[in-house]
Amino acid sequence: MFDWVKKLLGSSNDAEVKKLQKTVNAVEALEDEYKALTDEQLRAKTDEFRTRLQNGETEDDILPEAFAAIREADARVLGMRPYRVQVMGGLVLHQGRIAEMKTGEGKTLVSTLPAYLNALSGKGVHVVTVNDYLARRDSEWMGKVHRFMGLSVGLIVHDLDSAERRAAYACDITYGTNNELGFDYLRDNMVIRQSELVQRGHNFAIVDEVDSILIDEARTPLIISGAGDKSTDLYAKVDAVVRTLKRDVHFEIEEKKKAISLTDEGAQRVEAAFGITNINDAENAELNHHVSCALRANFLMKRDVDYVVKDDQVIIVDEFTGRLMIGRRYSEGLHQAIEAKEHVTIERESRTLATITFQNYFRMYHKLSGMTGTAKTEEDEFQNIYSLDVVQIPTNKPNIRKDLDDMVYKTKKAKFNAVVDAIAQVHANGQPVLVGTVTVETSEMLSAMLQRRGIQHEVLNAKNHAKEAEIVAQAGHWGAVTIATNMAGRGTDILLGGNPEFLARRAMRQDGYDEEIIEAATGHAEDVSDEILAAREKYQSLYKDFKRTTDEAHDRVLQTGGLHIIGTERHESRRIDNQLRGRAGRQGDPGSTQFFISLEDDLMRLFGGDRIMPMVERLGLKDDEPLQAGMLTKQIESAQKRIEGRNFEIRKHVLEYDNVMNRQREIIYGQRRRVLMGENVRDNIIGMAYKLIDAALSRHCASDDGTDWDIPQLTNYLENLCIHHGKIAELEDVVRSGDRDALAQALKDDAKAFYEERETALAEIGLDMREVERVVLLRAVDVRWMDHIDAMDRLRDGIGFRAYSGKNPVTEYQIEAGYMFDELNHLIREDTVRRMYQLRIERTPERVQAAVRPVDGKPIVPGNGQPRQPKRVKPSERVGRNDPCPCGSGLKYKNCCGKDKETRE
């Protein structure tokens, strides 16, 4: 009934598309007018649009003309004029929504339209991709168009210094990866000087593969860490004990929840091994945590599925793309537990200095948009968490791909035999086959089976990702068989008949060209050497030759039915399955897809078996007989929907915790940024001293009549903090009177006078008191914030136990976190005031120097726990005026030792 009504009235998406058509028509109506412009006239449109925006017009007012201008530039520079559906996709992105566009529909070209329009304001546009290769490719390729139109284009990739990053962010349009943008944000909130900042705000982001970044990696925290000081010995000791434990005797696993826990017998076994009476006692919390990590490492985390071992390292495999996540580590000791399991070098646990999740990073943008081939199934999550709608953009040509019903077998063995038979059958006709696997282990097993059958093939998984784009690009040529783990290779089109670009690259490699020269020759950079120009001519010649060959092969492959996709297992998420399917049938090409499933697959065993197994038993099927029915496919999709719903609820629940920390981060970073940008903190520091005096009086002089006042404690605290020594003794009459208000005022007056004396003393030796204040306050914030992150992690680890007493853990977490945040602010005030008031001013015959350190001589910067030793500067070493002073004061050279030197010179 509902489907019938939907067909009659049309879907809400149809209505959205219809609305967009009007604006697309307006853009297309300007095509002839803009075609008639010279290059100079077309380029001049950029200045015209900027002027109109400055005069009060909005981006929406100039949208049809701006889109028409950049569309014409695309045609002139790239030889590609965006189709109507691509213009429509650009409109959706400009509106701050998600454009779902199928594979091969030209999403990269689509991004030029909203990027150009939104860059005209000068506030910056970030185009975000998943890896350095795509960021570099798009910045060169699409960057040619933007530069033609007079806009500046920057690139943020891994190996850039601060100056290069600052220059890239200052551009009108900046291409970069989600990781680099997030890390730059964190680093910006750790710098001491405004000149060290690299980012300039978060105006508008266009996120490519938005589902991967905002959902699959949403909970992945970006962490900047420093070395910890704990020994790693305990990991190996615990691993040796845990290895002896047996499932269902010493521990239990809840596979659906991916949870593992000790039984009573298991706890007793561990207690006996370590000579303790109760592993759940508070004093054994660290050991308990190590045991939990070792259990997960040994019995939940699988080698070649969750991680690989390479070069004495444990490297995480991305669950959704199959790529190696170089440099990423599991947190909270799990990575070390896996290292102990695999007998590789156990790295010390690091200490978190700053952290943020992609969820919270991308929610900072004033306007956020994204594009992907698969987003509609996750629309509820996009709307709930990011306030992003999803609009499905029609394909440029009708999709004629055939999605066949699933083939279901009773056992995995029967399933994989059937997969190899199907590959052999399709391969015999010359039809290219792409086989999608969920794990590295499965891809290698299938590869061995194909080798035994004498079928040539390529394998793409986390162990062989270096030539990822090249392998995927060639998956469409005649007779190709390609095994790919998950959706490795997103961002690269599979062209039927083969990809001439990658064939030309391979030929250049065989001719002895260096990899860097090949990259430059196939790139789009304009300012290049003669050597690269010569290599580019060679590449273009090879490309033309191969293009003729692949065009002929294209027609031949079409006759076989196009690319055939075989999925060896259904993923928990329909979206990942759809990504695999989407590799076939691009731009109206024929293609087909089919999934092979066994009742022993995790998805079926855990979530669908109870419904499907009775059906199979009634039919009396043998192991090698497939069950193929549309109803069965619907049952499988129903299981996937349940898992998706559960995973969404888990992410949403986790976000409730994350939001607490995020609000605190925003407050701390906001205050920090105001100080960094030059806010005068003098009055704030004196105000901090006043608050600390009030808090001390409340603590040590609680009564209103002077009884029970603890004057020795008050004296000890305040005279080592912010008042003159002996001051409270001078106020004996006030103390005797029991007048707390009068005592408070007298102490505050003394604190202010004491601070003014500090200012005078520093001014006499030519130091900038305002800069000293800024450095001291920022360092106090950084050190205490680092401690606070650790404390919040510990709170979160244990808060779940509150549920046993009938309390809501999230509410309890919010309450406790509030108390801890108050304590954080108190400690920042205390550290800042103590360090400013207790500054040690040293005078020497050669120069006068202020060492910004507390009276006990501990460093005010996070380091190795030892006071920083002054660096001896050789006469040949040139210290810049704005560089940190070599003496270790934390001040700029010109405001410290250099000031005296400059005065003498």
Whether 33 and 171 share a structural domain: yes
Residue type, 516: E
Does some domain include residue 781?
no
Q: What's the pLDDT at 644?
A: 84
257 in any annotated domain: yes
Q: 190-225 as b/e, with b when 16 or more CB fall inside 10 Å?
A: bbbeeeebbbeebbbbbbbbbbbbbbbbbebebbbe
Residues 474 and 592 reside in one and the same domain? yes
Which of these, 227, 238, 468, lies nearest to 334 by C-alpha position? 238
Domain check: are 374 and 260 in the same one? no
Residues 6+ apart with CB under 8 A from 564: 426, 431, 432, 433, 434, 584, 591, 592, 593, 594
- The residues, any chain, with a CB within 8 Å of residue 288's CB and separated by 6 or more, are 279, 280
What is the CATH classification number for the domain harbouring 77?
3.40.50.300
Q: Does 193 lie in the same domain as 167?
A: yes
Q: Are both 568 and 534 inside the same structural domain?
A: no
Q: What's the DSSP call for residue 303?
A: B
Q: Taking the chain, what is the end-to-end CA distance rounded to the nearest angstrom? A: 91
Kindly state whether residue 113 falls inside one of the protein's structural domains.
Answer: yes
Which pLDDT score, from 0 to 100, does residue 540 have?
86
pLDDT in the model for residue 154: 95
Looking at 576, 601, 628, the residue that finishes a domain is 628
Cβ contacts of residue 285 below 8 Å, gap of 6+? Answer: none
Residues of the chain with pLDDT under 50: 1-2, 5-9, 488-489, 844-878, 886-891, 899-905
Instruction: Decide: helix, strand or coil at residue 866.
Output: coil
> Any residues with CB less than 8 A from the CB of 772 and at least 6 apart, and which?
762, 836, 839, 850, 852, 891
Question: What percent of the chain has pLDDT above 70?
Answer: 86
Residue 398: both structure tokens together: 């009708």
| 189 and 58, same domain (yes or no) | yes
Residues 6+ apart with CB under 8 A from 828: 777, 780, 781, 784
Q: What is the token pair recorded at 227? A: 């070395």
Distance of alpha carbon 333 from alpha carbon 816, whole angstroms: 24
Map residue 205 onto helix, strand or coil: strand
Residue at 809 is within a domain: no
CA 522 from centre of chain: 29
Task: Return the exposure string of 311-348: e unless at least 16 CB atoms fall within 10 Å of the residue's CB, then b.
Answer: eeebbbbbbbbbbbbeeebbeebbbbbbbbbbeeebee
Helix, strand and coil content of the chain, in percent to the nearest 5, comes to 55, 10, 30
Residues 509 and 455 in one domain: no
Sequence-ordered alpha helix ranges (H) in 808-878: 809-837
pLDDT score, position 867: 31
Predicted confidence at residue 592, as pLDDT, reads: 92
Would you say 340 and 294 are in contact if contact means Cβ atoms under 8 Å apart? yes
List, in sequence order, every residue forming a beta bridge with 316; answer none if it has no partner: 307, 325
792 domain residue, yes or no: no
The pLDDT value given to residue 142: 92
- Final residue of a domain: which of 608, 628, 648? 628
Same domain, yes or no: 158 and 72? yes
Are 181 and 247 contained in the same domain?
A: no
327 with 476, same domain: the answer is no
- HEC profile of 653-722: HHHHHHHHHHHHHHHHHHHHHHHHCCCCCHHHHHHHHHHHHHHHHHHHCCCCCCCCCCHHHHHHHHHCCC
**Token pair of 448 as six digits:** 């061995």
Query: Looking at the domain assignment, is residue 699 inside a domain?
Result: no
Contact 373, 103 (CB under 8 A): yes
Q: Are residues 24 and 146 in the same domain?
A: yes
Burial group, residue 89, by CB count within 10 angstroms (0-12, 13-18, 19+): buried
Report pLDDT digits (tens) over 857-889. Answer: 333 223 333 333 333 333 333 455 555 554 444
* pLDDT score for 187: 94
The DSSP H or E segment spanning 390 is: strand 390-392
CA distance 177 to 387: 22
Residue 729 included in any domain: no
pLDDT of residue 427: 92
Model confidence over 166-210: pLDDT tens digits? 999 999 999 999 999 999 999 999 999 999 999 999 999 999 989
CATH code of the domain containing 235 = 3.90.1440.10
Assigned domain for 708 exists = no
Question: Among residues 558, 582, 599, which one ends one of the domains?
Answer: 558
Long-range pairs for 214-218 at CB < 8 Å and ≥24 separation? 214/358, 214/359, 214/362, 214/370, 214/382, 214/385, 214/386, 215/378, 215/381, 215/382, 215/651, 216/319, 216/320, 217/178, 217/320, 217/358, 218/357, 218/358, 218/359, 218/385, 218/651
List the one residue out of 80, 84, 75, 74 whose CA is nearest residue 29: 84
Task: Look at the chain and report how many structural domains it folds into.
Answer: 5
pLDDT at res. 885: 52
Q: pLDDT of 138-154, one tens digit each?
A: 998 899 999 999 999 99
Question: What CA–CA distances, in Å, run from 892 to 769, 772, 773, 885?
Answer: 12, 10, 13, 5
CB contact at 8 A, 259 and 253 = yes
Residue 877: partners with Cβ closer than 8 Å, 6 or more residues away: none
Instruction: Give me the domain span that covers residue 524.
Output: 498-558
Q: CA–CA separation, 578 vs 565, rounded Å?
A: 11
Q: How many Cα neighbours within 13 Å face the side chain of 205?
A: 27
Dihedral class, residue 97 (left if φ above 0, else alpha if ψ from -120 to 50, else beta): beta
pTM: 0.79
- Clarify whether residues 506 and 488 are in a common domain: no
